[in-house]
A = this chain, B = another copy of it.
Amino acid sequence: MSNWKGENLQLSIFGQSHGPSIGMTLTGVPAGYSINMDALQAFLNRRAPGNDPYSTPRKEQDKPEFQSGLLDGQTCGVPLCAVIHNTNARSADYANLWECPRPGHADYTAQIKYGKSHDIAGGGHFSGRLTAPICVAGGMCIQWLNEIGIQITGHISAIGGVKDIPYCSDGVNPNVTFPNSRFPVYDQNSSEQMRERIACAKADGDSVGGIIECIVTGLPTGIGGPLFEGLEGRLSQVLFGIPAVKGVEFGSGFDAAAMLGSQNNDEFIMDNGKVKTLSNNAGGLLGGITNGMPLTFRVAIKPTPSIAKAQKTVNLRTMENATIEVKGRHDPCIVPRAVPVVEAAAAIVLFDAILPKS
């Protein structure tokens, strides 16, 4: 089910790309939390398709309308429900998908699972558009985490092989944030090369993938737990819920596999009366529990599967080989728009982990 259940919170994402509306219900938020609607809209705008050369020309307002859970801009303890109306549906674009599934998309597997009842238009419930309600839920959680000093910062770590500086290499960027940036990169030079790579792919009718790195500062120590209670598993369950995510790693991640214990272990030191570690290969987590260092993780995003280039596919009616050129409005690179989604996903899990029982 498109439901997630944390320790306190439950999130249900509903809607189809071309249905009346998409939205979310979030239950378990205690009464008394304020929402800054302008800040929430600004956050949603980072995910919304824009005038950038690298995003789809489909325009949607992505304006959430709260049906429940608020009183005078504050949570009242009742499940939060927000809907975003779909205004710009063009189902005709998708009529052919029943016969010829698009490579890299869920067209084929969704048909197998749901049969002819599946709503295939625009990918239905599998559409990247369903990340908008994740951002509604996560955008609120980000605000509530900020109030207690917890900051979540995502940046584009790589696009199409072009890499940004990693977080905290030589301490250059420990506190850099990117307020409302639609293309957050530490290094200006990398940023330009990434944009070129996207432009190049677009010109070719192709697409590129990338990596998003996310840093969470201000987390208290002691959050998480052993085995299936570890924050790594809880975060990854939601992060992999974002379409196109194919890998998740924490701290030194896959690089740790090639290191010696003496290299990868983070030695403890006292720093002004506080316990810290000299390095942060653990990504802020020991035994699944926060150790007071920044929580760091990286998420691999595959290239947008919708490309204009001719691709081999099959015709499921005739059961013969076929060729497809994906029409419609698509992003040559979804990585920039995915940054707030990754932040939102992490915020939902972390707010749940920190929240006292309501």
Contact = CB atoms under 8 A, between A and B. Distances in A.
A265 B232 contact: no
A22 to B, nearest CB: 7
Contacts of A355: 357
Contact of A260 (B8, B12, B208, B273): B208
A15 to B, nearest CB: 4
A195 interface: no
B302 A256 contact: yes
A221 interface: yes
Contact of A286 (B104, B234, B236): B104
A68 B268 contact: no
Interface string A58-83: 00000001111111001111111101
Interface string A225-269: 111111011101111110101111111111011111111111111
Nearest to A252: B246
A4 B65 CA distance: 24
A115 interface: yes
B269 A312 contact: yes
Interface in A1-24: 1-5, 7-8, 10-16, 19-23
A113 interface: yes
Interface in A90-138: 101, 103-106, 108-110, 112-119, 124-126, 130
A67 B138 CA distance: 21
Contacts of A309: 261-262
A266 B31 contact: no
Contact of A234 (B209, B237, B320): B237
Contacts of A71: 16, 117-119
Contacts of A148: none
A356 interface: yes
B302 A23 contact: no
Interface in A265-320: 265-270, 273, 275, 277-278, 281-283, 285-291, 298, 300-307, 309, 311-314, 316, 319-320
B68 A16 contact: yes
A113 B220 CA distance: 11
Contacts of A211: 254, 257
Nearest to A65: B20
Contacts of A224: 109, 113
Nearest to A275: B314
Given A241-B228, A254-B247, A261-B304, A291 B108 contact: yes
A222 interface: yes
B221 A109 contact: yes
A289 B160 CA distance: 26
26 contacts: A2-B79, A14-B68, A14-B69, A22-B67, A31-B113, A32-B115, A75-B117, A78-B125, A104-B261, A105-B287, A108-B275, A109-B290, A130-B226, A160-B260, A209-B256, A211-B257, A226-B243, A230-B241, A232-B245, A234-B237, A246-B251, A260-B303, A261-B306, A262-B307, A269-B314, A270-B320
